[in-house]
A = this chain, B = another copy of it.
Amino acid sequence: MPKPVPRNAFYAQSGGVTAVINASACGVIETARKHKDRIGKVYAGRNGILGALQEDLIDTSKESARDIRALRHTPAGAFGSARYKLKKFEDSTAQYERLIEVFKAHDIGYFFYNGGGDSADTCLKVAQLASRIDYPLQAIHVPKTVDNDLPLTDCCPGFGSVAKYVAVSIREAGFDVASMARTSTKVFILEVMGRHAGWIAAAGGLAAEKAGDSPQIILFPEITFDEEKFCARVKECVDRYGYCSVVVSEGVKNAEGRFLADAGTRDAFGHAQLGGVGPVVAEIVKRKLGYKYHWAVADYLQRAARHIASKVDVEQAYAVGKAAVELALKGANSVMPAIVRVSDKPYRWKIGVAKLADVANQEKKLPRDYITADGMHITAKGRRYLAPLIKGEDYPPYRDGLPQYVTLKNTPVKRRLKADFVV
């Protein structure tokens, strides 16, 4: 029997980057390099899927083993990511056809797409089109999102490290404000990401291991903001503990269903661009209670903070990248490696498989029973789920006091198509 001829792979990063998405890239590339009889070169899309649409491919075979290894400890998207949602298949077959055309031109037989819900959907659509036109392609989605909102996986790589950053930061800030509260700041507010779901805000609750620990209050998007209840609780904390520390999700809404801080601008997907609920909540504290306050907005720092990444998260991110290639080699298509929790304590997990048809365009919501009855903290059940995800440290190497993150050469692949594609 003739040996199968190796075909190339295409890997792209999608959506908001994380502290560990490059660890998934590392898993994909290192695993592919071990199977050169089956997988030729791994091409990466420069700026995600745009790289495929515009035939702007990066030849990862030009990178040294050492640099590829360094992806494991480098945050953000080494090949560039994109906030670019493909149109509905019915509305723009041209986009999908272009992808296949580029794949054909470069003999790409494997499509690894590293992203969230939208990219899982795209991945599935591309697989379906390829099948329809008899182009042999295996499309595997590699899960990633700080939002932790993908279904059918215990958690999403990227989330654990944001969770750890937020829990560590609010613990540290809590110590700070506690020591200043007698004569100065009494209320500290940390604004965190999570437009639609309170997963990240909930993670802040891990820092509070006993009554009175920081944070005393968490404000979730799932719970309508009640100014009176909130202020009463702040006062109670200041009276009892001398200070109050608050984690607030950017997605918190008022009784009219409006974001508490709606900047009015909109991003490429038409989502309202948020930022600034921290100062809004601080202003309420000032106006209603008169306490001196400070607020912080972590913004990109929280999802880029590779220096304080969760070891579990790094390992899972690498594992889903590796598993994606192994699944492809076993002939799988239109699937996503998923994280399966085997036990909470001790925490054990393994890699499972989810069908993309079941994954795409579904959101995993923060269960109501992870939030306390008063809507301002996490329950023991929530803690049991979240706690393992921030376990362990995985420090990057340092030189002269700074983490050494890799910037790849990102050598372009020679174009083979004549036509440009306007995105």
Cβ–Cβ contact A296 & B301, under 8 A? yes
Is A422 an interface residue, CB under 8 A from the partner? no
* Least CB separation from A302: chain B residue: B296
Of A177, A179, A209, chain B has the most CB atoms within 10 Å of the CB of A179
* Least CB separation from A17: chain B residue: B179
Cβ–Cβ contact A183 & B301, under 8 A? no
What is the CB-to-nearest-CB distance from A114 to chain B, in angstroms, rounded to a whole number? 12
Question: Of the candidates B179, B307, B402, which one forms a contact with A81 in the assembled complex, judged by CB atoms under 8 Å apart?
Answer: B179
Is A280 an interface residue, CB under 8 A from the partner? yes
Chain B residues with Cβ below 8 Å from A393 are 395, 398, 401
Cβ–Cβ contact A401 & B164, under 8 A? yes
Chain B residues with Cβ below 8 Å from A299 are 173, 294-296
* Least CB separation from A13: chain B residue: B179
Is A263 an interface residue, CB under 8 A from the partner? yes
What is the CB-to-nearest-CB distance from A358 to chain B, in angstroms, rounded to a whole number? 28
Question: Of the candidates B173, B300, B403, which one forms a contact with A301 in the assembled complex, judged by CB atoms under 8 Å apart?
Answer: B173
Chain B residues with Cβ below 8 Å from A173 are 299-301, 304
Question: Of the candidates B169, B273, B292, B312, which one forms a contact with A267 in the assembled complex, judged by CB atoms under 8 Å apart?
Answer: B292
Cβ–Cβ contact B283 & A294, under 8 A? no
What is the CB-to-nearest-CB distance from A32 to chain B, in angstroms, rounded to a whole number? 21
Cβ–Cβ contact A403 & B176, under 8 A? no
* Least CB separation from A177: chain B residue: B300
CA distance A320 to B405 in the complex (A): 34
CA distance A180 to B175 in the complex (A): 34
Query: Number of contacting residues on A, CB 8 A?
Result: 85
Cβ–Cβ contact B387 & A171, under 8 A? no
CB 8 Å contact bits of A171-191 with B (1 = contact, 0 = none):
111011111111111001010
Is A391 an interface residue, CB under 8 A from the partner? yes
Question: Of the candidates B183, B267, B276, which one forms a contact with A83 in the assembled complex, judged by CB atoms under 8 Å apart?
Answer: B183
Is A310 an interface residue, CB under 8 A from the partner? yes
Is A80 an interface residue, CB under 8 A from the partner? yes
The stretch that binds B, out of A70-78, A227-235, A374-382, is A70-78
Cβ–Cβ contact A403 & B300, under 8 A? no
Is A129 an interface residue, CB under 8 A from the partner? no
* Least CB separation from A390: chain B residue: B401
Cβ–Cβ contact B274 & A276, under 8 A? yes
CA distance A81 to B185 in the complex (A): 11
Q: A183-B50, A183-B83, A274-B279 are in contact. Are A172 and B301 (CB under 8 A)?
A: yes
A residues 61-117 in Cβ contact with B at 8 Å = 74-84
Question: Of the candidates B177, B292, B296, B403, which one forms a contact with A298 in the assembled complex, judged by CB atoms under 8 Å apart?
Answer: B296
Cβ–Cβ contact B276 & A175, under 8 A? no
CA distance A304 to B185 in the complex (A): 14
* Least CB separation from A163: chain B residue: B401
A residues 272-287 in Cβ contact with B at 8 Å = 273-276, 278-280, 282-283, 286
Is A329 an interface residue, CB under 8 A from the partner? no
Cβ–Cβ contact B395 & A401, under 8 A? no
Chain B residues with Cβ below 8 Å from A190 are 301
CA distance A12 to B130 in the complex (A): 71
List 5 interface pairs A-B (beta carbons < 8 Å), by A numbering: A171-B403, A274-B276, A274-B283, A275-B276, A296-B298
Top 4 nearest A-B pairs by Cβ distance?
A: A77-B179, A390-B401, A296-B299, A274-B279
Sample of 18 more A-B contacts, CB < 8 Å, known A76-B176, A169-B304, A185-B300 = A17-B176, A47-B183, A75-B172, A77-B179, A77-B180, A81-B180, A84-B183, A167-B402, A168-B307, A183-B268, A209-B402, A273-B292, A274-B283, A275-B294, A296-B297, A308-B308, A310-B401, A393-B401
Q: A residues near B, CB below 8 A?
A: 13, 16-17, 19, 47-48, 50, 74-84, 164, 167-169, 171-173, 175-185, 188, 190, 206-207, 209, 263-265, 267-268, 273-276, 278-280, 282-283, 286, 292, 294-301, 303-308, 310, 312, 387, 390-393, 395, 398, 400-403, 405
